[in-house]
A = this chain, B = another copy of it.
């Protein structure tokens, strides 16, 4: 059953001025009442970080057709503060993104976009993170907007789970070339880091993180497989990280 004019909270990790969140706001405005709470600066790679030893500030921002705030904290702070302080009622849905770059596979654990969505679901609000496989500031979000509208509408009309959290990744393709939408599991993969070592003008060594992503999974039910085949991948996410497979092998630790 469709919800009439749902309240939709829009968040992200690239900051309130990123083109990706502006693209998502446009989609959300067509589907409900929109409140935006987003970091006042880029917060990529912030994972599930929260601000506990410092204060948070918010400022009103003018984004047409919405009530919008920038926040000095992390993506997860934005969600917590929105739900507990800034919103006049509980939103029906939280959408996060559209992230500039992939959050498939192991990237989900580093992702501020997805941590914001997970936080929403922990608070009992269905939440969807959207990511486009294009880091460019000039990325074309038009296909991603069509997908986002499709997925949001489908969730609003069909979902019964307050704890729903979806990780939606969208290939860098024209709309016509997207093969479809697949529900997937998270592919096993990892980053092989290298640190670029440099010397600053004062003679001190400093480092930049670099690295390449390596897929360690050839399953045909994974997000990486779907994306490589031109599909949008949707992975449902939940917060229990217990390793049930090895739990019973650890009896040697008990006393």
Contact = CB atoms under 8 A, between A and B. Distances in A.
Interface of A: 42, 44-53, 55-58, 74, 76-77, 80-81, 83-85, 106, 108-110, 115, 118, 122-123, 150-151, 154-155, 158, 161, 164-166, 180-183, 185-186, 188, 190, 193-195, 197-198, 204-209, 232, 234-247, 250-255
A168 to B, nearest CB: 9
A208 B55 contact: yes
Nearest to A59: B204
A53 B76 CA distance: 19
A128 to B, nearest CB: 10
B188 A240 contact: yes
Given A195-B85, A252-B154, A254-B182, A118 B122 contact: no
Give this chain's copy count: 2
A56 to B, nearest CB: 4
Contact of A52 (B45, B57, B242): B45
A183 B195 CA distance: 37
A161 B181 CA distance: 35
Closest A-B pairs by Cβ, 5 of them: A47-B48, A238-B243, A236-B243, A47-B47, A181-B255
A8 B254 CA distance: 22
A240 B186 contact: yes
A205 B242 CA distance: 40
Contacts of A51: 45, 209
30 contacts: A42-B53, A44-B53, A45-B53, A46-B49, A47-B76, A48-B110, A50-B209, A55-B206, A56-B206, A56-B207, A57-B206, A57-B207, A76-B110, A80-B193, A80-B195, A81-B195, A108-B241, A123-B190, A150-B255, A154-B253, A158-B252, A164-B246, A166-B250, A181-B253, A182-B254, A185-B240, A185-B242, A185-B244, A236-B250, A237-B241
